[in-house]
Amino acid sequence: MPEGWVNVFDVQREAERKLGPGPLGYFSGGAGDELTVRENVEAWKGWRLRPRQLTGNESVSTAVEVLGAPVAAPILVAPVAYQRMLHPEGETATARAAAAAGTVMCLSTLATATPTEVAAAAPGGRRWFQLYPFSDAAVTRALMAEAVAAGFEAVILTVDAPPGGKREQDQRTGFAIPPEVEIPSVAAALGGAQSFSVTRTFDLMTRSLTWDDLGEVAAEAGVPLLVKGLLTAEDAELAVAHGAAGVVVSNHGGRQLDRSVTTAEALPEIVEAVAGRATVLVDGGIRRGIDVAIALALGADAVLVGRPAIWGLTAGGTEGAEWVLRTLAEELELALALLGVASPRDLSHEHLRSPLTTRVYSD
C-alpha cells in the first residue's frame, strides 16, 4: 500500500496536490453550483443497511458476470477524457490497472490514446468503448470500427451530452486542451491537432440523435450497445425497447444538468422499468465499497467509478489506479461478509432501509 493511503479519499487528496488549477477544476468540478456533484456522493450515504446473521457463509466472493463475461468485482472503470493531462501514460496506464484488478476499462471517445494503443497496453483486459457521435458520421464509424477491431466488447453511447454543462471552474481557469496533448478523435474531426476548449469539442458532435437511431448505431457497432446518461424510468424503457443491451444510470458526474436527481435516487425506478431485460449499471458518487453494496442491493448489476480511478492514476500511475480498484473491491467483500451474504448477487432490497425512514424524530 502506498504510504499514508487507507481509503479513496486519501488518494483524492494526493491527486489534488499534484494538479494545477485548470486540470483540477476540470476533473473534479461540475456544472453550475455543483450541487449534483456533492449530492451524488451524499445520496449513497442516506441508505442504511440491514445485516443478517448466522447465514453460514464460510467464504465471500465479489466475482460476478457483466455482459456475459466475468469480472473480479462489479466495479468497472468509467470513461474519463484527456487522461494524459493527469499522467504521462494516460489511458494505457488505466487500462493496465483495470486488467490487473480483473475488471472492465471503458475508453472515452475523448481519450488521449487510441483503442488500438489501449488494447496493446493491456491485451488480457476487458474493454468497452464510450461513444460520442460526431456530426461527421465518417469519424464516428471509424472510431467504432477501430475499437471493435481492437477487441472492445461493447459500445456505450452517451446521450446526456452535447451540449456541455455550464462548468464555471473551467471558465474561471480558462481550461483548454493544449496542442501537445493530442486527442485522436478530435484531431480526426478537425483535420489535425490544435488547442481547443471543451465547448469546442462538443460543437463537433451531433445533437440530432433520436431513439430510432439506436438500432442503426448498434448495427454499425456489431457489439452490444449500452445507453449512458439515463435518469428516468421512461427513458430506460425506451432504451430497452429500441434494442439496448444495457443502460447506465448517470448524470455525467454532475457535470451536465446541475440539480438533476442523483443516481442513487434514479436507480430504483430504472431497475423496475428494465425488469431484468437488460444490464443496469450506475455511476456517480461511488467512493466506498459500501456504496457499491447499496447500488447492488438496489438492483444494479455493477457500478462504474470515474474520479476515484483517475485520482489513483494521478497519484500513482498504474499502481495507484489498481490500488483504488482493489481497495473498493476489498471494502465490498467486507461489506458482503458483514451483511451475511456470500456473493453480490445475494444482495436485495431486504438488506436496505430507505433513506426516507431513517429518521425517527422530526425537528
Which residue shows C-alpha cell 488518494? Answer: 11
Q: Are 308 and 7 in contact (CB under 8 A)?
A: no
Spatial distance between the Cα atoms of 148 and 222, rounded to a whole number of angstroms:
8
The reply to whether 252 belongs to the active site is yes
Q: Are 112 and 86 in contact (CB under 8 A)?
A: no
E-only strand ranges, 138-265: 154-158, 225-230, 246-249
Residue 345 identity (one-letter amino acid): R
Peptide bond into 178 cis (omega under 30): no
Q: How far, in whole angstroms, is CA 188 from its chain's centroid?
A: 25
Q: Which residues pair with 228 in a beta bridge?
A: 158, 248
Helix (H, G, I), strand (E, B) or coil at 170: helix
**Of 87, 242, 252, 351, catalytic:** 252
Nearest alpha carbon to residue 352 among 262, 304, 281, 290: 290
151 Rama class: left (phi>0) / alpha (psi -120 to 50) / beta: left
Indicate the length of the chain as a whole number.
363
Nearest alpha carbon to residue 270 among 280, 261, 260: 280
Which residue shows C-alpha cell 499514508? Answer: 4
Q: Are 103 and 76 in contact (CB under 8 A)?
A: yes
Active site residues: 252
